[in-house]
Amino acid sequence: MKVEVITLFPAFVEQVITAGIPRKAVDTGALQFHARDLRDYSEGADRRVDDRPYGGGPGMVMEPGPLSDAITAAKAAIGSSAKVIAMSPQGVAMSQALMKQLSAEPGLILICGRYEGLDERVTPQIDLEVSLGDFVLSGGELAAMVLVDAVARLLPGVLGHEGSAEADSFSVGLLDHPHYTRPPVWRDAAVPEVLLSGDHAKIARWRLKQALGATFLKRPDLIEKLSLSGPHAELLREFLSERSGEKNQTSK
């Protein structure tokens, strides 16, 4: 995948590929990343890319000319089919489903807005607006970096294990199950016996039950979207029954 980020702060955005999974994605060739300085497309000697809004009001608005030229240049660099995404609080919220969808694209061009936003006349060049959440940041850089990280780990060959991405929280609409490692007993707390059994079918069932339970307790809104029935509903009832039994034991 080829990713271009259009920003006023390229050195800041480039930090996302200096460590962790995004760096591995670049090192393995799964990701090509470039931060494009929007000021390079200013027509003035002062490299200005913003101006006062027509109609008055506070703040500044990013000019359409430099931004349009930067998008055109980015498409010339990585391909005309690249999807142009504006990082904006008005956009669709980031989700694992969206990240998976974007990871299948051949190229992404991410626009990091600043000030009061973009001149509306640039919107015909934008395919999608994406939001990090219902709050306001100083600019789109952090949101773009989050998107790059989330997408990079879904690219083929980037993670160390083929099933790692599929097992993550939200990948199947559920939170992840609990994880344990050595030692088998730590501060009087033992690893669940089933995980030491070597019975892969029982382990898979336990993990699904724990994932259903964790989602029910922490994110009931996700459970409602799944409309559980059959074996999944039975597993959740089993989880809640066991949890109730544990609480009763503790209270005695």
Which of 22, 89, 114, 141 is labelled catalytic? 89
Q: For residues 133 and 93, give the distance between their C-alpha atoms in angstroms, rounded to a whole number.
A: 6
Catalytic: 116?
yes
Catalytic: 89?
yes
* Closest listed residue to residue 109, CA positions, set 89, 88, 150, 81: 81
Q: For residues 225 and 223, give the distance between their C-alpha atoms in angstroms, rounded to a whole number.
A: 5
User: Dihedral, CA atoms, 84, 88, 91, 92, nearest 10 degrees?
Assistant: 90
Which of 14, 105, 116, 129 is labelled catalytic? 116
Angle between the N-to-C axes of helices 231-251 and 200-218, in degrees from 0 to 180, rounded to the nearest 10: 80
Catalytic: 10?
no
Paired tokens of 46: 């002062």
Which of 168, 205, 219, 238 is labelled catalytic? 168
**Buried b / exposed e across 22-35, counting CB within 10 Å, b at 16+?**
bebbbeeebbebbb
Query: Active-site residues: which are they?
Result: 89, 116, 153, 168
